[in-house]
């Protein structure tokens, strides 16, 4: 009698647990994490840059002000910036003599980043990220710069901090973020403005991307509710594998039958999203900003998947190699693992790249144009990030397959899911 009562209680508890964790609820829970959360973070980054911004009047120079280059490195001594833990080379190009003093114009040549800075004459307590050796050698500094994007606009940062005369580095923090419709030679010759600035290009392109993402989220939600309800009506339970695979497929950016022309348009929007996330992350420090890595990871995953779909669509890969590449690079077991590792080492990666021969690339930028050279260097950064993600995903997937199946044959074996989905 006692055993039967205990058995009844166990069955009742299991029934209660299963009735709560229905297939529909499982699907929607994963959908919230994999779909809604990255979208919220993307909206957050969009709102940071779409707002109008103003720059400090002391940094603004009249358009007809004479450029000067005499004793340039002595007059404009800043050689680098440290912002949110990342070291940036900052090379002066010319300066202006104004009523307030010397306003220097400098550039980060490899990223088509231009801006003005002003150093005050009175000593102050160094900024918190400055080393202790700068305690008696720090001066107030204000700076703004525009970091050019692919489209005809640039991201704006307005910072304050201190300049250390011992190491010739400015230690700064962001106060103002924004975007402005400027690039190319217009950016190189910009002297600033006391009026509010805003980017309509970024506003429209960003809005299109967010609306597209909202439509994908809405479509995914409808599919998951219908599928989950039918599973519950039939008494079917879904395990973790089935839930994640179905949610991932429902959130795919490109539809079945999409052409590579469609994917190129999506590729541009994703790259702009990556630029926004990267710029927001490197512009700010602290744990709140680190949450933005969720959006960056989503966009990086989308970029890699879209590039694979474009390759897949060319029919260059045999069916066996298509399945091998897909299962090694895009299995859900390795999803976001490489992106997490990249997030942890991103500051070190950027500092290392900035300290490399990139910092001496101003002559190359002048020869081919800042814009074209920045495309090459931004592409190099993305390739490094993809290489790091791949170096984590591939071994992780191979180890997982070997430990579970003791064979790699499963990587090229056909299955019902691949047969049903096929190539995009």
Say whether both 161 and 218 belong to one domain: no
The yes-or-no verdict on residue 13 having pLDDT over 50 is no
Least confident among 223-237, 256-270, 276-290, 388-402 = 276-290
Tell me, yes or no, whether 28 and 67 share the same domain: no
Is the domain of 189 the same as that of 204?
no
Which of the listed residues 251, 272, 287 is the one where a domain comes to its end? 251
Average pLDDT, the chain: 86
Q: Which residues does 83 contact at the CB level (< 8 Å), separation at least 6?
A: 159, 172, 173, 174, 282, 283
406 falls within a domain:
yes
Q: What is the mean pLDDT of residues 364-371?
A: 92
Q: Which residue has the higher pLDDT, 183 or 336?
A: 183
Query: Per-residue pLDDT for 123 more than 80?
Result: yes
Q: Sorting pLDDT into bands at 50, 70 and 90, what band is 4? A: very low
Residue 205: per-residue pLDDT: 92
List, for residues 153-162, the tens digit of each pLDDT value. 999 999 999 9
Residue 5 pLDDT level (bands cut at 50, 70, 90): very low
Count Cβ atoms below 10 Å from residue 7 Cβ, excluding itself: 10
The domain total for the chain is 3
pLDDT at position 161, please?
94
Tell whether 214 and 303 lie within a shared domain: no
The answer to whether position 5 is within a domain reads no
pLDDT of residue 21: 80
Same domain, 161 and 290: no
* Residue 416 predicted with pLDDT over 70: no
Distance (Å, whole) CA 107 – CA 233 = 63
Q: Tell whether 321 and 407 lie within a shared domain.
A: yes
Residue 127 lies in a domain: yes
Query: Are residues 363 and 422 part of one domain?
Result: yes
Most confident of 33-42, 91-100, 227-236: 91-100
Domain limit, last residue, from 182, 216, 251: 251
Is the pLDDT assigned to residue 309 strictly greater than 90? no
Say whether both 299 and 421 belong to one domain: yes
Write out pLDDT tens, residues 273-302. Answer: 888 888 887 777 666 666 777 677 778 888
The pLDDT of residue 288: 63
**Is 15 part of a structural domain of the chain?**
no
pLDDT of residue 18: 53
374 lies in some domain: yes
Domain boundary among 164, 180, 197: 197
Residue 329 resides in a domain: yes
Same domain, 38 and 134: no
Whether 11 shows a pLDDT value over 80: the answer reads: no
- Same domain flag for 349 and 365: yes
226 lies in which domain range? 21-48+200-239+247-251
pLDDT band at 10 (very low <50, low <70, confident <90, very high): very low
Does residue 384 belong to any structural domain of this protein?
yes
Q: Which residue has the higher pLDDT, 308 or 258?
A: 308
Least confident range of 9-13, 97-101, 269-273: 9-13
Q: pLDDT tens across 312-333, in order?
A: 888 888 888 888 888 888 877 6
Please compute the mean of the pLDDT values over residues 97-109 and round it to a whole number: 94
Identify the pLDDT of residue 346: 81
Q: 12 in a domain, yes or no? A: no
Indicate if 208 and 328 belong to the same structural domain.
no
pLDDT, residue 179, reads 96
Inform me whether the pLDDT recorded for 199 exceeds 90: yes
Residues 6+ apart with CB under 8 A from 66: 96, 97
Q: What is the pLDDT of residue 19?
A: 64
Mean pLDDT of 392-412: 87
Q: Rounded mean pLDDT of 50-60?
A: 94
Mean pLDDT, residues 153-176 taken together: 94
- 265, 402: one domain: yes
- Of 140-149, 219-228, 354-363, 385-394, the one with minimum mean pLDDT is 385-394
In this predicted structure, the answer to whether residue 110 has a pLDDT above a threshold of 60 is yes
């Amino acid at each position: 009698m006692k055993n039967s009562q205990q058995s009844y209680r166990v069955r009742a508890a299991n029934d209660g647990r299963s009735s709560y964790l229905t297939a529909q609820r499982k699907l929607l829970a994963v959908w919230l994490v994999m779909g809604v959360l990255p979208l919220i973070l993307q909206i957050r980054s969009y709102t940071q840059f779409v707002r109008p911004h103003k720059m400090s009047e002391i940094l603004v120079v009249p358009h007809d002000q004479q450029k000067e280059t005499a004793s340039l490195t002595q007059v404009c001594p800043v050689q680098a910036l440290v912002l949110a833990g990342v070291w940036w080379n900052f090379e002066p190009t010319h300066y202006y003599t104004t009523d307030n003093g010397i306003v220097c114009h400098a550039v980060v040549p490899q990223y088509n980043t231009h801006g003005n800075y002003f150093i005050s004459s009175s000593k102050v307590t160094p900024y918190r990220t400055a080393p202790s050796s700068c305690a008696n050698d720090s001066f107030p500094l204000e700076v703004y710069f525009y970091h050019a994007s692919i489209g005809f606009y640039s991201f704006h940062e307005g910072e304050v901090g201190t300049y250390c005369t011992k190491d010739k580095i400015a230690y700064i923090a962001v106060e103002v973020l924004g975007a402005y419709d400027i690039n190319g030679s217009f950016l190189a010759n910009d002297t600033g403005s006391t009026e509010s600035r805003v980017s309509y290009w970024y506003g429209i392109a960003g809005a299109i991307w967010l609306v597209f993402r909202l439509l994908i989220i809405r479509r995914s939600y409808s599919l998951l509710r219908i599928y989950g309800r039918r599973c519950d009506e039939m008494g079917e339970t879904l395990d973790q594998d089935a839930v994640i695979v179905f949610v991932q497929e429902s959130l795919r950016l490109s539809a079945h039958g999409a052409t590579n022309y469609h994917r190129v348009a999506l590729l541009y929007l994703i790259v702009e999203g990556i630029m926004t996330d990267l710029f927001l992350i490197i512009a700010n420090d602290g744990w709140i900003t680190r949450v933005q890595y969720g959006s960056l990871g989503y966009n990086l995953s989308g970029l890699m998947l879209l590039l694979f779909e474009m390759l897949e669509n060319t029919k260059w890969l045999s069916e066996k190699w298509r399945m091998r590449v897909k299962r090694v690079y895009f299995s859900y077991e390795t999803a976001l693992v490489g992106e997490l590792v990249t997030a942890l080492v991103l500051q070190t990666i950027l500092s290392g790249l900035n300290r490399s021969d990139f910092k001496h690339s101003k002559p190359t930028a002048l020869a081919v144009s800042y814009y074209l050279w920045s495309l090459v260097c931004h592409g190099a950064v993305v390739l490094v990030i993809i290489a790091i993600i791949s170096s984590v995903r591939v071994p992780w997937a191979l180890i997982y397959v070997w430990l579970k199946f003791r064979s790699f044959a499963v990587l090229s074996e056909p299955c019902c899911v691949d047969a049903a989905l096929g190539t995009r």
